[in-house]
Amino acid sequence: MFEVDKIRQDFPALSQKVYGKSLIYLDNAATTQKPQVVIDAVNEMNNGINGNIHRGIHYLSSLCTERYEAARETVQHFLHAAKKEEIVLTSGTTAAINLVAFSFGERYIQNGDEILISEAEHHSNIVPWQLLCKRKGAKIKVLPIYKDGGLAVKQLPQYLSPKTKLCCITQMSNVLGIVNPIKEIVSIAHTHQVPVLVDGAQGIVHQDIDVQDIDCDFYVFSGHKLYGPTGTGILYGKEKWLDAMPPYQGGGDMIASVSFEQTTYAELPLKFEAGTANYIGAHGLKTAIDYLNQLGLPAIQVYEQSLLNYALQQLLLIEGLQIYGTATPKSGLVSFNIKGLHPADTAMLLDKMGIAARSGHLCAQPLMQRFGIQSMLRLSFSFYNTKEEIDKAVTALVKARQMLIH
């Protein structure tokens, strides 16, 4: 039994009212609410357990360093990574992808090379590669999706060539909710000697991840989507790549020695962590992961899948509603349009009824173009949502439709 009523009490944000209505928060793919333990963990450090890490030998510095490194170990175990040196703490998915785009790009990308991405990527997994390609005279290739949103994995070998230097694919689309067969993709890419970066921003929230089993070369995610603080994130990279890649940013903490003539760099992972790290956020992220482990990822997955199935069933009863991304497996969210309604108008009406939904291009304009539209409406679920909330959202959508059409 998944005790959702009890779990909801862990999240103070869920009991607030907006416009006098009880909040129904269905924008979890954008960011998740924080459990009290995470809020407490961050507050405790801001209230006094605060000393800059790695440099000081005083009590507070040592304690914060311990907590920061404990966070790294927690993430290592959470991802089932082989070594803690393979875990780089960043400010989020975007920062992690930009790190790889710059650093891997500096070392390995040359004029005429190709980087393969998919048609269903978030802008964060498109634009850093475009910037890299501009710098280096390389080219982006795009693996298409089918009409139902499924990735054309069968075509993958045709898109890989000796020029392909990296393949960057989302584990789960933040628009379609479709979960890509990452392990299979990695295996195909590796037979062509192409390393793979997996954008796990959405994927990690809904399932257990084992980077060694997937065998991906890089895996990135954001803390704030995983019930942790904003400004936290992770880059997992196989040691052989991280070792070979040059530093991304220069500054304190990433050096071994500095003179005006020459600087040598710190060992992994500090080589990639220039400047004062977000050690308070890291402790918050560790607390969030501990919390999730306590709830149990398999139980979370089963419950969230039942919410999604219920939502799909109920939404399809609404006249004129079209869902984008009908392929399976699908997880955690549903994006759609209702004939005759602009998603921004609908989201605004839902908001006034206390329901937080997302509308717009969802940071995936190429995907919108693929479907020949400008925007969608998205409901995204967490284990703290309920079927009653979905019922209320569906009723609100029907009401919005009546208001806007008739």
Q: Which residues bind ligand PLP (CB under 6 A)?
A: 92-94, 122, 124-125, 170, 174, 199, 201-202, 222, 363
Query: Environment class of residue 75 by beta-carbon count within 10 Å: exposed (0-12), middle (13-18) or buried (19+)?
Result: buried
Q: In the bound complex, what is the minimum distance in angstroms from residue 361's beta carbon to ligand PLP?
A: 12
Query: For ligand PLP, which is the closer residue by CB, 125 or 359?
Result: 125
Residue 335, Ramachandran bin (φ over 0: left; ψ between -120 and 50: alpha; else beta) = beta
Q: In the bound complex, what is the minimum distance in angstroms from residue 363's beta carbon to ligand PLP?
A: 6
Active site residue 167: no
Q: How many CA atoms lie within 13 A of 319 on its CB side?
A: 7
C-alpha to C-alpha distance for 236 and 234, rounded to whole angstroms? 6
C-alpha to C-alpha distance for 73 and 66, rounded to whole angstroms? 11
C-alpha to C-alpha distance for 371 and 377, rounded to whole angstroms? 14
Query: For ligand PLP, which is the closer residue by CB, 105 or 200?
Result: 200
Query: For ligand PLP, which is the closer residue by CB, 64 or 285?
Result: 285
Q: Is the dihedral of CA 280, 285, 287, 288 positive or negative?
A: positive
Q: In the bound complex, what is the minimum distance in angstroms from residue 130's beta carbon to ligand PLP?
A: 15
Query: For ligand PLP, which is the closer residue by CB, 45 or 126?
Result: 126
Name the strand (E) or helix (H) holding 308.
helix 297-315
* Three-state DSSP state, 142: strand
Name the strand (E) or helix (H) holding 257.
strand 255-258
Query: For ligand PLP, which is the closer residue by CB, 199 or 389?
Result: 199
Place of tokens 């209505």: 21
**Cβ–Cβ < 8 Å for 109, 132:** yes
List own/partner pairs for 162-165 with CB under 8 A and 24 or more apart.
163/112, 163/113, 163/114, 164/113, 164/114, 164/115, 164/116, 164/192, 164/194, 165/108, 165/109, 165/113, 165/114, 165/115, 165/138, 165/194, 165/195
Q: In the bound complex, what is the minimum distance in angstroms from residue 369's beta carbon to ligand PLP?
A: 17
Query: For ligand PLP, which is the closer residue by CB, 103 or 125?
Result: 125
Q: In the bound complex, what is the minimum distance in angstroms from residue 395's beta carbon to ligand PLP?
A: 27
Catalytic residue among 64, 167, 168, 363: 363
Q: In the bound complex, what is the minimum distance in angstroms from residue 120's beta carbon to ligand PLP?
A: 9
For the annotated catalytic residues, the residue numbers are: 363
